[in-house]
Amino acid sequence: MTPPRLLAPSLLAADAANLERDVRLALEGGADWLHFDVMDGRFVPNLSFGPHICKRMRELFSLPLDVHLMVTRPENLVVPFIESGASLLTVHAESDGDLSRVLLAVKQNGAKAGMALKPATHPDTLRPYLPLLDLVLVMTVEPGYGGQKFLSGALRRVAAVRAMLDAEKPGCLLEADGGIDAVTAGGCVEAGADIVVAGSSVFSSGLVSDNVKVLRALLR
């Protein structure tokens, strides 16, 4: 049975002065997960949120917190984020350190473990980690910033990872992240994504709850 497709609005694009209001509006529209982008200024040039914001979101909301670590050294962040209420922790395949140990630590601390791929990283990179993975995140833009254009070739990569998961790790969820809006969401789902992340197309213009409703309807 195919799992239901989920929409994960990305907090990065929410109004920084009104995070609580914006997440509430996204929930009113039917948001399934909250995507939480963590950037360290090294793995990507930008900086974003730390565990204290994650903790506050957990205190305010009960939806799953989907933490995407765009950091060079993820190992020291596992416990702080899980203690702050992360439901799922995704590390990049291109990060440094012993990533199997990091994924194992995520699971031992009670969260689900994911691995993300930058656009240029070959899907085969995932193979050694598959036994530990609950989710794979395929970047459909270069990580680091919201509001970028969906990359051509991204759907082919989503489909390639889907085929690998179906053959080698059925049940592992597939998430697409970056440049997803009402035009690109349907293709992601057709290519096999279970979860789509959407930042700008949810929070940057129009009514947040309506934007969520429109995108969610496209995932059916």
Name the minimum Å distance from CB 218 to ligand DX5: 14
Q: Residues with Cβ < 8 Å from 65, sequence gap 6 or more?
A: 33, 34, 36, 54, 57, 58, 85, 86, 87, 88
> What token pair was written down for 45?
């040039």
Q: Which residues are catalytic?
A: 37, 177
Backbone angles phi, psi at 190, to 5 degrees: -60, -35
Beta carbon nearer to ligand DX5, 61 or 145: 145
13 binds, among ligand DX5, Zn ion, none (CB under 5 to 8 A by kind): ligand DX5
13 vs 184: CA distance, rounded Å: 18
Contact 201, 211 (CB under 8 A): yes
Beta carbon nearer to ligand DX5, 35 or 58: 35
Query: Given the structure tokens 């053959």, which residue do they identify?
Result: 167
Q: Is 57 in the site for ligand DX5 (CB under 6 A)?
A: no
Q: Is 118 in the site for ligand DX5 (CB under 6 A)?
A: no
199 binds, among ligand DX5, Zn ion, none (CB under 5 to 8 A by kind): ligand DX5
Q: Is 111 in the site for ligand DX5 (CB under 6 A)?
A: no
Q: Which residues bind ligand DX5 (CB under 6 A)?
A: 10, 12-13, 35, 37, 68, 70, 141, 143-148, 177-180, 197-201
